[in-house]
Chain A
Amino acid sequence: MKNKYMFGGFIIVVFLGVMIYLFTQTNVSYESSLVKVMQSEKTVKATGSWVKERNYEINKEKNLFSFYLKDDQGNMMKVIYHGTIPNNFESSTSVVVTGKYHDGAFHATDILTKCPSKYQEQPVQNANS
């Protein structure tokens, strides 16, 4: 009787151990402050929105797509993504890029663009009616 529980317990410990280990190896934290992102040496997921005023660039030869990301404090960071521009990039309200910041730019291996499920605008009242 005891043996069964010890064996089972052992398996559970091993399983949890492997899982926790792999978790620490593959976890990526979210960072919404671009200042911290630029200081960090680890792979992170940076969140922010695309800076429309500084247009995006597509380099077809090297298959690069670059643009500027800004966070809610107004910090801006250049992002270079090794791939094609995501489908709904232009209308996205927020962008999440996975990668590392080095040599002056954030090199992204993944981009997630979020469109609002309802297309939200922030209209302003017309001055004269």
Chain B
Amino acid sequence: MIGNIALTLALLTGVFSIVMYFLTFRGYQNTLSLARISFHATAILVLAASALLLHAILTHQYQYKYVYNYSSSDLPIGLLISTFYAGQEGSFMLWILFTAIIGLILLDYTSKRGDLEPRVMMVFGLALTFLLVMVNPLLKSPFTYIWTTPDFIDLKNINPAYYSLSALQQFMFSDPQSNKQFIQMNSELHGILAASNISVNDFIIQGKGLNPLLQNFWMQIHPPVLFVGFAMSAVPFSFALAALLKNDYKDWVKQALPWVLSGTMVLGLAIMLGGYWAYGVLGWGGYWGWDPVENSSLVPWLVGAASIHTLLVQRKTQEKGAGRFVKTNLILSILTFVLVLYSTFLTRSGILGDASVHSFVDPGMTVYLFLVMFLLLFTLLGIGMVIYRWKYLTDNFTYEENLLSRELALFTGAVALLASAIIVIVGTSAPIFGQTVEIKFYNELNLPIAIIIGLLNGGSLLLKWKMTDKKDLWKQSRFSLLASLVFTVLVALLGGVSEIMLIVLLFSSAFALFVNAEIMLKILKGRKSFLGAYVAHIGIAVFLIGVVASGGYSDHKQVDLVKGEKQNVFGYDLSFTGYEPIDNGKKYAFNVEITKNGSTKIAKPVMFIAEFNNSLMREPDILAGFTKDFYVAPVGYSEGDDDGHTHGSTISLKKGSSTDYNGITITFESFEMPKDAMTSMSSGGEFKIGALLKVLADGKEYTIKPSLVIQGDGRKSESAEFKQKNLRFDIVNMNAGNGTVDIEISNLDENSQSQITNVKKEVLTVEASIKPFISLVWIGVVLMVIGFMISAYRRSKESLV
């Protein structure tokens, strides 16, 4: 209740501050302080609403639909806090929170720089207000109560003390498939509870919980960093519009530069944090899948990075007038934010449907339309203003470039980045038209662009502003060209690189690396704050080399590791030594010893069944090194009686269901447990459980009964033979609780020895991979971030002069 009030008030004060700032811009006298007060009020209300939501989560207030849907009482505090942004409403809240905080800093920043404040805050406030509309009670508020729209709540989440409530029966439902029971929570039930003085908070005592895929450290940092990046993308947009409003295009560049730099840095970092999450936890072995959600945040980053370079040119050429690339910079700054909105639309509207692993459930028509409106409005606002001023812009700001000038090189580099952005956006938007592109599309088109960017990167730093003498150019670049050539040849020979495009890319990255390194060494003796660009570019070069190496030369192999037996994979001796429960027995870590040249390390990939959705979760373990990562992803584990290599197929059957296998139909009728099973089980004695199978072959029905003989910890399988089809049936696994049995079907005449042995063969199947120089990918990112920070620092000092 209070939360909704806070959000609505925030929306109102937000609108008010926009109006007040607008009036100030138009020259009214007393409106500035009103504008500031109302903006601060908006920020405070947003903070209050966020605090309320966090409090509700921490104190498990399940009367809120959002708290019930995404959190539970058994989450550790770090993850519990992260449920704040686990769903749509909360992630918008987080975005709003960061936008509000950045707004306060922006307000202070712009207030110290002439008449900038009203124009910038007017536009920025508009962005904030639109976001607030998204979470207001009429749309998708995180404070919606759980009974406002009927929802089914698992009975196990209800306080058992109320199970016997007679009124409850009419709200009781059950799901025939899972045999679970539910209470339908709606306003009627709420009324009944209220009348009996039962608070919903007391009635519902457990939440649905957080998706296990999100239950790790990265969930706690990747989304917040991403939303800071999103929030910051509204700043250059606001600055560009401020310039257009005043029709003055000089000062905004140096004022906006530190913001563009920091925003791009944060967004880039967020994107790669997501990549590292995918690599380290999700187990498919990669860090970038060209998934629409990944792509849609990459595109604004590419545009932002492009804009940095054209802004720098404008900055450099400003001694007499506004400088070069006036129109370009306005358009790019507007585009960066518009693309963030487009990315939000793509990922939250449900329009991508089946195309993405991240697809959310369809949020409904109202949200969809609102997102479209949000996107359209800001696009029209930005581009509209540019068109409005177009005549003035073209009359006053059109120039020619010399071919051998840094200006042109930087411009071409920005164009290359934009070309990459277009490629990614075309591929990502294809599902809107019912198409999709294979990963080949992105890789093949981006490869030549990456090459061009590397060459331009080095080249632009060798070229001088305005014009370069050809002889000088050759002299300057000699060392780097030579060093790059040597480097490329060495790596190509030692690494076995034979693809021509990759070799060229290696050369181009090395070229960028050497040019920047040479300049960096010179600067180190002088003004260190100028180091930023060079460090960042070295970072990019290192990153690209890492991408080529790990992307082009990884190798993977699936192996069955029998416990205690060594297997050699990629030159390493692997041995599965056993498993142990971890995390309070909820998960299992499987120990794999990896030995090479006498030294042994242990990898511990993890597997467990998640209660959340009853599926097998797998987490890899990585032995990270500078020259390569040894990646171990668990595939499966089985305890069987044969030598660990199953010779046939395994089928999984639920009681009463059938399946077809090679022309015969197999039905799992029931378990067969002897009467004394319970006593044997508890006394530790030996007992046998059978699976009664009916097999229909060639029109005749047969009864097959494989069994498991269990004593204490050991189990051995008693096969059932089906001579008519030359098949043997073994029970591999059974779960009496949910009535399923896993049957292995193999050929009768293949030798399956050790029928009588009591030793169970434990087999861990893993996919082992070698990823050469993937460390460079991460090192490159770190260098880029450091470079960005140094640059942002330098430019923020310059922005005041």
Residues of A within 8 A of B (CB): 1, 4, 15, 18-19, 22-23, 25-30, 45, 47, 53-61, 63, 84, 87-91, 94, 96, 112, 114-126, 129
Bound-state Cα–Cα, A77 to B379, Å: 45
Number of A-B contacts (CB under 8 A): 149
Q: Which B residues, 354 to 393, have Cβ-Cβ distances below 8 Å to chain A?
A: 354-355, 357, 359-361
For the complex, is B211 an interface residue (Cβ under 8 Å from A)? yes
A121 to chain B: which residues have CB within 8 Å? 152, 175, 177-178, 180, 182
Instruction: From B169, B175, B661, give the contact of A124 (CB < 8 A).
Output: B175
**B636 close to A55 (CB less than 8 A):** no
Instruction: From B69, B172, B180, B422, give the contact of A118 (CB < 8 A).
Output: B69
For the complex, is B757 an interface residue (Cβ under 8 Å from A)? no
**A117 close to B360 (CB less than 8 A):** yes
**B437 close to A117 (CB less than 8 A):** no
Residue in chain B with minimal CB distance to A110: B438
Known: A90-B614, A119-B208. A30 touches B431 (CB 8 A): yes
Known: A26-B440, A121-B152. A116 touches B175 (CB 8 A): no
Additional pairs, 12, CB under 8 Å, beyond known A23-B437, A61-B646, A126-B172: A27-B436, A27-B437, A30-B434, A55-B657, A57-B650, A58-B651, A60-B646, A114-B354, A118-B361, A123-B152, A123-B175, A129-B172
Instruction: From A23, A47, A90, A116, give the contact of B361 (CB < 8 A).
Output: A116
CB A66 to nearest CB in B, in angstroms, measures: 9
B614 to chain A: which residues have CB within 8 Å? 90-91
**B174 close to A59 (CB less than 8 A):** no
B616 to chain A: which residues have CB within 8 Å? 87
Residue in chain B with minimal CB distance to A122: B175
B580 to chain A: which residues have CB within 8 Å? none
Bound-state Cα–Cα, A114 to B362, Å: 13
**B649 close to A58 (CB less than 8 A):** yes
Bound-state Cα–Cα, A26 to B178, Å: 41
Instruction: From B184, B427, B613, B649, give the contact of A119 (CB < 8 A).
Output: B613
Instruction: From A22, A29, A47, A63, give the contact of B444 (CB < 8 A).
Output: A22
Instruction: From A28, A84, A88, give the contact of B635 (CB < 8 A).
Output: A84
**A129 close to B169 (CB less than 8 A):** yes
Residue in chain A with minimal CB distance to B422: A19
A45 to chain B: which residues have CB within 8 Å? 354, 436
Bound-state Cα–Cα, A34 to B354, Å: 16
A119 to chain B: which residues have CB within 8 Å? 208, 612-613
Instruction: From A53, A57, A126, give the contact of B661 (CB < 8 A).
Output: A57
CB B558 to nearest CB in A, in angstroms, measures: 7
Residue in chain A with minimal CB distance to B69: A118
CB A28 to nearest CB in B, in angstroms, measures: 5
CB A47 to nearest CB in B, in angstroms, measures: 5
A-B contact list, 6 entries, CB within 8 Å: A4-B401, A26-B437, A26-B438, A63-B558, A96-B355, A117-B87
Bound-state Cα–Cα, A124 to B176, Å: 7
B648 to chain A: which residues have CB within 8 Å? 59, 61
For the complex, is B653 an interface residue (Cβ under 8 Å from A)? yes
**A126 close to B445 (CB less than 8 A):** no
